[in-house]
């Protein structure tokens, strides 16, 4: 692989996840056994302009909770590794993306400080796909991603009621925000007055 990349495996008693991330790559091959999560992650990669290979299995018969969180943690850890010392990156990214009636705003700071503040609309009891994925599973994924990716993540639904649209607009806005934040500005400066991220 050329450019910034990472490949890792994360195995616990609940789940097993392998990730290959290429920040200068393209194409997504995603199989988490949760089709709706695959649908969302495919859009994150596509609109993020990076390559993502992801294979994940876990105790989804219990609930999609563990697998969702661990997928987020694994992809976040891969991002952290691929970013290295974070020299020369844009650092900030934000996007407001519509999908029909839904409008979702995402802002990212590749700050080195983990935190996720997520406010989504839609029907929280709804399960999308089979095995089912709910809004709270996507929230777990995003929280894990921010934690392991050591990044600040804000997600806010500005409008809309269709749950599928809310989550899909979130995935697209996350991709666009990441694409901007990951951009190389040229040079080797760490974009912080502290001198490190």
Which positions lie near Mn ion, rule CB under 5 A? 168
Q: How far is the CB of 163 from Mn ion (least distance, A)?
A: 11
Alpha helices in 150-190 (DSSP H): 163-182
Q: How far is the CB of 128 from Mn ion (least distance, A)?
A: 9
Q: Which is nearer to Mn ion, 52 or 78 (CB)?
A: 52
Which tokens is 193 given? 């007055």
Instruction: Report the residue number whose CB is nearest to Mn ion.
Output: 168
Q: How far is the CB of 171 from Mn ion (least distance, A)?
A: 9
Q: Which is nearer to Mn ion, 89 or 120 (CB)?
A: 120
Q: Which is nearer to Mn ion, 111 or 166 (CB)?
A: 166
Q: How far is the CB of 101 from Mn ion (least distance, A)?
A: 14
Query: Which residue in the block uniquely carries the two structure tokens 């503040």?
Result: 117
Measuring CA to CA, which residue among 148, 180, 143, 141 is closest to residue 58? 141
Q: Which is nearer to Mn ion, 34 or 148 (CB)?
A: 34
Q: How far is the CB of 168 from Mn ion (least distance, A)?
A: 5
* 24, burial (CB in 10 Å: exposed 0-12, middle 13-18, buried 19+): middle
Measuring CA to CA, which residue among 107, 72, 104, 95 is closest to residue 169? 104
Sheet holding 28-31, edge to edge: 5-11, 15-22, 51-58, 28-31
Q: Which is nearer to Mn ion, 171 or 182 (CB)?
A: 171
């Amino acid at each position: 692989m050329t450019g910034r990349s990472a490949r890792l495996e994360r195995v616990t008693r609940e789940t097993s996840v392998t990730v290959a991330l290429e920040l200068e790559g393209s194409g997504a091959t995603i199989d988490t056994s949760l089709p709706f999560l695959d649908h969302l992650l495919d859009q994150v990669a596509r609109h993020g302009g990076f390559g993502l290979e992801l294979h994940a299995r876990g105790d989804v018969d219990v609930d999609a909770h563990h697998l969702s969180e661990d997928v987020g943690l694994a992809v976040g850890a891969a991002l952290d590794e691929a970013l290295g010392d974070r020299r020369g990156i844009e650092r900030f990214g934000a996007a407001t993306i519509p999908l029909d009636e839904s409008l979702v705003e995402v802002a990212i700071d590749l700050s080195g400080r983990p935190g996720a503040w997520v406010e989504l609309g839609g029907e929280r009891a709804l399960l999308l796909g089979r095995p089912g994925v709910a809004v709270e599973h996507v929230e777990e994924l995003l929280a894990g991603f921010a934690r392991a990716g050591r990044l600040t993540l804000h997600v806010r639904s500005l409008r809309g009621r269709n749950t599928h649209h809310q989550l899909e607009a979130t995935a697209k806005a996350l991709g666009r925000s990441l694409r901007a934040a990951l951009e190389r500005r040229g040079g080797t400066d760490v974009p912080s007055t502290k001198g490190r991220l």
